[in-house]
C-alpha cells in the first residue's frame, strides 16, 4: 500500500501482508499488516520497521515522502522480528544519528543482530524527545507482550504509537477503523487479544491504569498491526480494560474432538442441557482452529471439554488445544468434562487435571462412556449441561 498521512507530518509507511496464514500457531486467515510510522518535525523519526521480507517495500514507501538518508532517528518500540527484521537493511541505508530504545530493547536487539556498532541511545520511562515542532514521550509497556515493549506518545498530535497494543491481524486496503465493518474489526481485535495478550493481562491492567492516571488525550491509537483507531479510540481502550480484568458473560464454550462420533453425540447433549439464557459455542477441533477457539474462550464463563482416548491419552487435537490454552492462561472459568473410551476409563480424569492446572472451578463429576453412548449416558450429558448452566446463571 502507498504511504498515508494520518495527521499533519505523520505518515503510515508500513506494508500489508496479504498472504500470511500462520503467526506462530495463530491462524491469520485474513493476513496482517506490519505498520511503521514516519514523523516529520525539524528532525525526522521512523518508528519501527517491518518484517525482513518487506524491507524493500518499506523503503519505497519512505522514498515517496522523504529521501531516507534525511531520517535523523529510528525509534524501536519492540524488538520482535516482525517489527525489527528490516532494521539492518534500513540502518545501512539511512545511517541514523540515533537508534532510540530502552536498555531492555537494546539487549534484545543485540541478541538478535549482534551489532554493537549501531548508534544506540537509551531512553527511560517518561523521557521526552523534542524533534522541533513535535515532542515524543516514551512509556514502558513491559510484557505487553515482550519484556522490552514501549509505546510512543506524540504530545501535540495526541497520537499513541502503541506497538502491538490495540492491533489486529487483518490485511485490508482500508487504513482506519471507521472505514471497515465494525463487527469484523472488533472480532479481529478480540482474537488478537485472546491469542497474544491474554496471559499478560495483569501487565495490560497496569499499563492502562498508568496512562489513565496521566490524563493523556488520544485522538488516534496507531498499532503496529491492522487498522488505526481514530473514530472513537476510547471504545477499544474500554475493551482492553474488560478483557484484562477477565470479565465474562453467560457463555459456554464446548470444545471437543471425536474419533468415531461418540463424543460428538455427547457434546450435542451437553449443549442441549445448556440451552436457555446462555450463549453456547460448539467447537469441533476437526473444523475449528485453536486460535478461533481461544477467541471464544476469552469472555466465556464456562469451558466444557470433551474427548475420546487414543493410546491411553487424549486425542492429539485436544492435547494440542490444551497445551495452547495453558500457555494463554484464561481466568475466571467454570469447567466440566465428558468423553468416551475403549478400555481405560481415564478421559474425564485427564481433562479435569488439565483444567485444574488452569485453576478452573470444576463442575460435576463429568460423564464418560465406553464406546457409544446410550440414552442413559446422553441424559447424563444433558444433566451436566444443565448443571453448568445453573452455575453460570447463579454466579
Domain range list for the chain: 4-244, 249-394
What contacts 24+ positions apart, CB below 8 Å, involve 209-218?
A: 210/139, 211/139, 216/153, 216/158, 216/160, 217/158, 218/158, 218/159, 218/160
Contact 135, 198 (CB under 8 A): no
Identify the helix (H) or strand (E) that includes residue 314: strand 313-314
Architecture of domain 4-244: 4-Layer Sandwich (3.60)
Round to whole Å and give the CA distance between 255 and 328.
Answer: 16
For residue 154, give the nearest of 96, 228, 89 by alpha carbon.
228
| CB distance 76 to 115 below 8 Å | no
Rg (CA), the chain: 24
Task: Identify the burial level of 210 via C-beta atoms within 10 angstroms of its C-beta, where 0-12 means exposed, 13-18 middle and 19 or more buried.
Answer: middle
pLDDT tens, position by position, for the chain (395 residues)? 899 999 999 999 999 999 999 999 999 999 999 999 999 999 999 999 999 999 999 999 999 999 999 999 999 999 999 999 999 999 999 999 999 999 999 999 999 999 999 999 999 999 999 999 999 999 999 999 999 999 999 999 999 999 999 999 999 999 999 999 999 999 999 999 999 999 999 999 999 999 999 999 999 999 999 999 999 999 999 999 999 999 999 999 999 999 999 999 999 999 999 999 999 999 999 999 999 999 999 999 999 999 999 999 999 999 999 999 999 999 999 999 999 999 999 999 999 999 999 999 999 999 999 999 999 999 999 999 999 999 999 96
CATH number of 249-394: 3.40.50.360
* Site of grid cell 476510547: 234
Count of CA atoms in the C-beta half-sphere (13 A) of 174: 13
The residues annotated as belonging to the active site are 24, 78, 80, 82, 145, 164, 192, 225
Amino acid at each position: 500500500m502507498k504511504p498515508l498521512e494520518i495527521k499533519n507530518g505523520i505518515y503510515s509507511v508500513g506494508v500489508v501482508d496479504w498472504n500470511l496464514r500462520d503467526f506462530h500457531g495463530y491462524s491469520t486467515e485474513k493476513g496482517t499488516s506490519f505498520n511503521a510510522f514516519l514523523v516529520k518535525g525539524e528532525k525526522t523519526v521512523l518508528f519501527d520497521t517491518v518484517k525482513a521480507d518487506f524491507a524493500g517495500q518499506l523503503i519505497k514507501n519512505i522514498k515517496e515522502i522523504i529521501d531516507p538518508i534525511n531520517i535523523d532517528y529510528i525509534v524501536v518500540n519492540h524488538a520482535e522480528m516482525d517489527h525489527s527484521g528490516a532494521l539492518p537493511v534500513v540502518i545501512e541505508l539511512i545511517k541514523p544519528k540515533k537508534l532510540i530504545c530502552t536498555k531492555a530493547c537494546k539487549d534484545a536487539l543485540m541478541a538478535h543482530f549482534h551489532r554493537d556498532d549501531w548508534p544506540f541511545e537509551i531512553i527511560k520511562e517518561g523521557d521526552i524527545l523534542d524533534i522541533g515542532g513535535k515532542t515524543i514521550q516514551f512509556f514502558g509497556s513491559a510484557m505487553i507482550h515482550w519484556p522490552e515493549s514501549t509505546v510512543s506518545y506524540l504530545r501535540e498530535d495526541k497520537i499513541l504509537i502503541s506497538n502491538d497494543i490495540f492491533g489486529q491481524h487483518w490485511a485490508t486496503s482500508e487504513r482506519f477503523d471507521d472505514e471497515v465493518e465494525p463487527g469484523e474489526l472488533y472480532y479481529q481485535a478480540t482474537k488478537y487479544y485472546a491469542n497474544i495478550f491474554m496471559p499478560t493481562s495483569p501487565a495490560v491492567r497496569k499499563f492502562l491504569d498508568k496512562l489513565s492516571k496521566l490524563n493523556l488525550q488520544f485522538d488516534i491509537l496507531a498499532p503496529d498491526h491492522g487498522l488505526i483507531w481514530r473514530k472513537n479510540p476510547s471504545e477499544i481502550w474500554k475493551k482492553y480494560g474488560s478483557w484484562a480484568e477477565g470479565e465474562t458473560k453467560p457463555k459456554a464454550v464446548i470444545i471437543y474432538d471425536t474419533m468415531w462420533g461418540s463424543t460428538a453425540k455427547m457434546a450435542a447433549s451437553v449443549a442441549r442441557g445448556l440451552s436457555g439464557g446462555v450463549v453456547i459455542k460448539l467447537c469441533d477441533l476437526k473444523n475449528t482452529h485453536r486460535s478461533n477457539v481461544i477467541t471464544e474462550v476469552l469472555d466465556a464463563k464456562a469451558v466444557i471439554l470433551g474427548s475420546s482416548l487414543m493410546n491411553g491419552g487424549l486425542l492429539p487435537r485436544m492435547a494440542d488445544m490444551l497445551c495452547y490454552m495453558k500457555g494463554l492462561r484464561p481466568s475466571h472459568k467454570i469447567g466440566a468434562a465428558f468423553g468416551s473410551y475403549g478400555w481405560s476409563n481415564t478421559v474425564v480424569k485427564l481433562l479435569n487435571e488439565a483444567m485444574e492446572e488452569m485453576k478452573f472451578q470444576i463442575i460435576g463429576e463429568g460423564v464418560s462412556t465406553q464406546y457409544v453412548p446410550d440414552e442413559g449416558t446422553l441424559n447424563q450429558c444433558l444433566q451436566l449441561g444443565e448443571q453448568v448452566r445453573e452455575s453460570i446463571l447463579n454466579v
